[in-house]
Each structure stands twice: as structure tokens, then as C-alpha cells.
Amino acid sequence: FYSFWILVVVCLTTANYPGTKPVRPFTSDAVLDAAQAMANKSSESDKTLTEFNNISVASFTGTFTLVEFADATWVRYMWWVYLIGLVWTSEFILACQQMVIAGAVARWYFNKDKVDSKPPVWTAYRHLISYHLGSMALGSLLITLLKVPRLILSYLATKLKKYEQSDIAQCIAKCCICCLYCFENCIRYINHNAYTVVAMQGINFCPAASRAWHVLVNNALRLATLNSVGDFILFLGKLIVMTVTGCVGLFLFKRDPELHLYAAPTLVVCLFAYFVAHCIISLYEVVIDTLFLCVCEDQNIHGDEGKWRQSAIANLSAARNNTHIPEEAPINT
């Protein structure tokens, strides 16, 4: 994916045409007047002046043709189209990934008979392509409308660091970047839950976002607890993967007698391992958020008869309250 966009950057960078520009070697009036005066002056005794008198004044006042490459007008606009298209396409692909995972998890959760010949992942793909591409495009567009100005302000803030008298401008730019970043993350989190509602109920993006917002507000305490515990456990998983990979890499590096410095390659291995672990464990984070929203929707729709009562957490809560729950086939929620 990124190889294609790098190729587009190369094409836009080299999409210029050669042009000509006239250049005068001497543009100062003082130089031209001096040349005219020396040309008019005659001195037979001075050989240098005699040779100089033979030089035409036109050689000082003439122009040369300089070839330079200039960007076409359409290239300048295409850079903006490229930036918006890159961000929008990236966010659209991420939205489709979240939609497929949410659809598969929701189908597994709400499938009562637990016997389904259709694979949940392929079913989620089919529903996405058939019904929900517009919702994914709208959700990713909202992120793009916030991310592109933030990137532009970040670029301008970097440029303003070169000027010492622009502290106020830097402060304003950083405040705007911070506000856009926070707002972008809020919209991104709401979009993620809206995709789950779209996968569960098959409604449009705007009603799904409204529904997800009300569910999150009504279950704010449980949501904060789940996010705190879940994020901590997932972070520990990333650290464990990074540590184990770093230890294995260090052990292999020490077996090489020609290698004497282990810090740099071990650090590279640890960073790469953490990046891979983050990409994989992020899927579990999406699954956890989807299951939480499924439980909330199940509780709101079916009440005490929902499948959320079959989980081990509900059984533990009922045991503390000395209530009886009908024995059913439990599910691992």
C-alpha cells in the first residue's frame, strides 16, 4: 500500500517541465557606466586598455538563457489531493478492518444456536462490501477532516521554530495541534464503537454513532474500569513479547564471535518486536471493546434474559447476591 503512495510522491516530484529564463550577468548601473567609460577611453600606451576597448559594451548589457525546471500548476493542487487521499484511504482501510472484526465478534456473540456453517469473518466481509462501505467512508472522512489540519499545523510549527520572534505563534499553533489531536481521538473512539453498532444492527453511520454515544455515556463507570484493566494487561503482553524477543536476540548475538557491541542490534530487535506485538495485540483490544458493546446492547434489549447472564462474571455476581441463574451452556465472554 505504502509502496504505491511512495511511487506517487516520486511521480509528483519529477512532474516538472524545462523552461527558459533570461539572465543578465551585470545588472548594476554602476558596472554598466564603468564599462561604457572604459570603452570610450583610448590609450595607445596601455596594452590592456587597448584590448579592452575592443570589447563590445553589448557583452556587459546582453542576456543569457538559463534552463530551469518549474512545476506545473496542476502539480501544486495534486499535492493537496495526494495528502487528503493518503489520509482518507489509510483511515478507510483501518475502518474496514475494525468493521470486519466487530462484525465477526458480534455474529459470534448473538448467534443463539452456536451452529453456523457460514464463517463469521467471511460473512462480515460480505456484509461490509454489500452494505456498509458508505458508512466506513463517512467515518474515515471525519477523521481526515481533523487529521489533515493537524498535520499542516504541525508542519507550520516546525517551520516557525526557525524564527526567534514567533513564540506567540508557536504557542497558538501547539494549542491548536493539541486540541485537534484530542478531538480526533474522541471522534476515532466514537467511530470505532459506531462501526460495532453498524455491524450489530445494520443501520447507517449517524444513527449508529448516536446509539454508541448513549451506550458509552450510560456505562461510563464500567467502561473506564474495563479500559484501565484491559489496557494494562495488553501493555504487559507487549512488554513480555518485547522482553522475550530481546533476550533471544541477545543470546544469538553473543554466539557470534565477530560481534562485540550488542546494545544497538538488541535495541532494534526490541523495537521491531514491540511494533509487531502492538499490531497484533491491537486486534484483541478491538475484540474487547466490541464484546463490551455487545454485552451492553444485549442487556438493554433482552434484559435479564440476555446472553450476558451466561458469563462467569454474571454467575459470580449472582452468587454474591444469593440469586439463582438458570443453568445454560456458558459462553466465554
Q: Which residue has the cell 458508505?
A: 134
Of 14, 48, 75, which residue sits at a domain end? 75
199 CB contacts (<8 Å, ≥6 apart)? Answer: 99, 102, 103, 106, 107, 124, 127, 132
Judgement on whether residues 102 and 210 belong to the same structural domain of the protein: yes
Per-residue pLDDT of the chain (333 residues; tens, 9 = 90+): 677 778 877 777 777 666 666 655 555 555 455 555 555 554 444 545 455 454 544 454 555 566 666 666 677 778 888 888 888 998 899 999 889 998 888 888 877 656 666 788 888 888 889 888 999 999 999 988 888 888 888 877 777 776 655 677 778 878 888 888 888 888 888 888 899 889 888 888 889 999 888 888 888 888 888 888 888 999 999 999 999 999 998 888 888 777 778 888 889 999 999 999 998 888 888 888 888 888 888 877 766 665 655 655 455 444 444 544 443 333 333
Q: What is the pLDDT of residue 34?
A: 54
Q: Which residue has the cell 516530484?
A: 13
Q: What is the pLDDT of residue 45?
A: 46
CA 91 to chain centre: 7
Residue type, 268: V
Residues 141, 89 contacting (CB under 8 angstroms):
no
pTM exceeds 0.75, yes or no: no
Of 155, 186, 218, which residue sits at a domain end? 218
Judgement on whether residues 256 and 151 belong to the same structural domain of the protein: no
Q: What is the pLDDT of residue 311?
A: 59
- Over residues 268-295, the pLDDT tens digits come to 999 999 999 998 888 888 888 888 888 8
Judgement on whether residues 204 and 243 belong to the same structural domain of the protein: no
Residue 193: closest CA among 125, 122, 106: 106
Distance separating alpha carbons of residues 175 and 177, to the nearest angstrom: 5
124 CB contacts (<8 Å, ≥6 apart)? Answer: 99, 100, 101, 102, 103, 104, 107, 199
Q: What is the pLDDT of residue 264?
A: 85
Instruction: Give me the half-sphere count of Cα atoms (radius 13 Å) on the Cβ side of residue 239.
Output: 6
Distance separating alpha carbons of residues 116 and 103, to the nearest angstrom: 15
Long-range pairs for 176-179: beta carbons < 8 A, 24 or more residues apart = 177/150, 177/153
Report CA Rg, the chain: 34
Distance separating alpha carbons of residues 158 and 165, to the nearest angstrom: 14
CA 333 to chain centre: 31
Distance separating alpha carbons of residues 76 and 41, to the nearest angstrom: 53
Judgement on whether residues 92 and 191 belong to the same structural domain of the protein: yes
Judgement on whether residues 305 and 229 belong to the same structural domain of the protein: yes
Q: What is the pLDDT of residue 22?
A: 63
For CA atoms 185, 150, 96, 194, give the dihedral sign: positive
Q: Which residue has the cell 446472553?
A: 307
Judgement on whether residues 192 and 71 belong to the same structural domain of the protein: no
Residue type, 10: V
CA angle 236, 241, 243 (to 5 degrees): 90
Residues 103, 123 contacting (CB under 8 angstroms):
yes
Judgement on whether residues 211 and 280 belong to the same structural domain of the protein: no
Judgement on whether residues 197 and 96 belong to the same structural domain of the protein: yes
Distance separating alpha carbons of residues 105 and 216, to the nearest angstrom: 18
Distance separating alpha carbons of residues 174 and 151, to the nearest angstrom: 11
Residues 41, 79 contacting (CB under 8 angstroms):
no
Judgement on whether residues 138 and 195 belong to the same structural domain of the protein: yes
Judgement on whether residues 269 and 204 belong to the same structural domain of the protein: no
Q: What is the pLDDT of residue 332?
A: 36
Residue type, 291: L
Q: Which domain holds residue 177?
A: 82-218
Q: Where are the alpha helices (DSSP H) in 220-262?
A: 220-254
Domains: count for the chain: 3
Judgement on whether residues 109 and 208 belong to the same structural domain of the protein: yes
Of 180, 202, 218, which residue sits at a domain end? 218
Judgement on whether residues 159 and 286 belong to the same structural domain of the protein: no
Instruction: Give me the half-sphere count of Cα atoms (radius 13 Å) on the Cβ side of residue 211.
Output: 22
The string of DSSP letters for 268-327 reads HHHHHHHHHHHHHHHHHHHHHHHHHHHHHHHHHHHGGGSGGGGSHHHHHHHHHHT-----
